[in-house]
Amino acid sequence: MTSTVNPVDERAARAPEFPMARAAGCPFDPPPGLRGMQQEGPLAKVRLWDGSTPWLVTGYADQRTLLGDPRVSADINRPGYPRQAPMPPGGTGVSFILKDDPEHARLRRMVTAPFAIKRVEAMRPGVQKIVDDLIDELLAGPNPVDLVEAFALPVPSLVICQLLGVPYADHDFFQENSKVIINRNVTPEQRSAAHGNLIGYLDDLMGEKIAHPVDDLLSGLAGRVTAGELARDEAAQMGVLLLIAGHETTANMIALGTLALFEHPDQLALLRETDDPKLISSAVEELLRYLHITHSGRRRVAVADIEIGGEVIRAGEGLILANDIANRDPDVFAEPDRLDLRRDARRHVAFGFGVHQCLGQPLARMELQVVYNTLYRRIPTLRPATELERIPFKHDGSVYGVYELPVTW
């Protein structure tokens, strides 16, 4: 009877669970299971927490093709969309990153101006000051110290607060809540409550900005609300998205990047000894490629049949584009598992690809350039204060990184 079984169904039946575990003792490499799949072919089936079996796409070229294909939807409310976690009771508002054009483009264009290259470059001296002040405090404080708490989180948090116009004094509150939102292991009720807290907070703030607009991003959105171009709940939703995305990702790149450099002393030495902006910029791209902290893949759903690599993805089937393994595709990056700060890694897909590519990437790049160029030069003896085995990794988060990184100098 096996001959009559649809081969796709059969593959679904033996689909491995996703996300997969990393190899023990290998915190920077993608799970070995993903590597195996990449060697086997362009498409595979995986099983998610809810029993659904979306396609997993591992190859770099195929991911770029699919992420640029208008038949591929980012709309989380379409049937077949591969969700990372159960839907919270009553649902939550959906930000533009989980919508399709034209709605996505309409909303995204309202917040792109502050992330333009020249605007971001104009922020560089301010970011340098934030970084320098935090290092001064670090050096004056206890030793050893947790680098995440003392430096990696405050840098992007201070920057995004300034850009948005959110009082940094409230950072404990929104960091606690955003931690819950990006943790895959909390209950839907917990996630919904945390999201509600942040929406409430941003909505209050939006009220203030509507009444007293100043020169910041939230005031810009407030102006759109006043002009009737944007609903107030949409504005609050965007504020929450930018606030969470603005610090979680960069903070993890700072801490995990520092740990990766500790494990590669020759590469750390390169950064410690240079002030060549070209090398610093290539180092940032290579660490983005190598660490791929967005390790849960880009999630999409097909809205029409799509043929790729001799297979057909049917309309309504979910897709996970695993950018972590794409960044280790040997067809694109020679010796992909080697951290090599001098290589040209600019084509990596750490920020995704297609119209949903990360909006904040110019800001993230600039922050990381300033940090990597400053921290190790100002504290040349910076080193881990514990063994690698004792460092807690965020295997359960939708953004990968370390919960803590004790350092000494």
Q: Which of 13, 21, 23, 117 binds other proteins (CB under 8 A)?
A: 117
Q: Which of 22, 35, 99, 108 binds other proteins (CB under 8 A)?
A: 108
CB of 116 to other proteins, least distance (A): 4
- Tell me how far the alpha carbon of residue 132 is from its chain's centroid: 25
Q: Does 318 bind other proteins (CB under 8 A)?
A: no
- Select 226 or 361, whichever has its Cβ closest to other proteins: 361
Please give the size of the binding site for other proteins, defined by CB under 8 A: 26
Q: Does 353 bind other proteins (CB under 8 A)?
A: yes
Rounded (5°) CA angle 277-360-218? 125
Q: Quick check: 74 and 104 in contact, CB under 8 A?
A: yes
Per-residue DSSP letter, 408: E
By CB atoms closer than 10 A (0-12, 13-18, 19+), residue 244 is buried
- Dihedral (CA of 339, 340, 344, 346) sign: positive
Q: Does 122 bind other proteins (CB under 8 A)?
A: no
Q: Which of 124, 342, 347, 390 binds other proteins (CB under 8 A)?
A: 347
ω into 213 cis (within 30 of 0) = no
Q: How far apart are CA 123 and CA 24, in angstroms?
A: 40
- What mask, x for binding other proteins by CB under 8 A, covers residues 60 to 99? -------xx-------------------------------
- Select 37 or 123, whichever has its Cβ closest to other proteins: 123
Q: Does 115 bind other proteins (CB under 8 A)?
A: yes
Q: Does 390 bind other proteins (CB under 8 A)?
A: no
- Select 31 or 114, whichever has its Cβ closest to other proteins: 114
Residue from 280, 360, 351 nearest 119 by CA: 360
CB of 37 to other proteins, least distance (A): 24
ω into 19 cis (within 30 of 0) = yes
Q: Does 214 bind other proteins (CB under 8 A)?
A: no
Q: How far apart are CA 323 and CA 165, in angstroms?
A: 32
- Tell me how far the alpha carbon of residue 280 is from its chain's centroid: 21
Binding stretches for other proteins (CB under 8 A):
67-68, 105, 108-109, 112-113, 115-118, 120, 346-347, 351-359, 361-362, 365
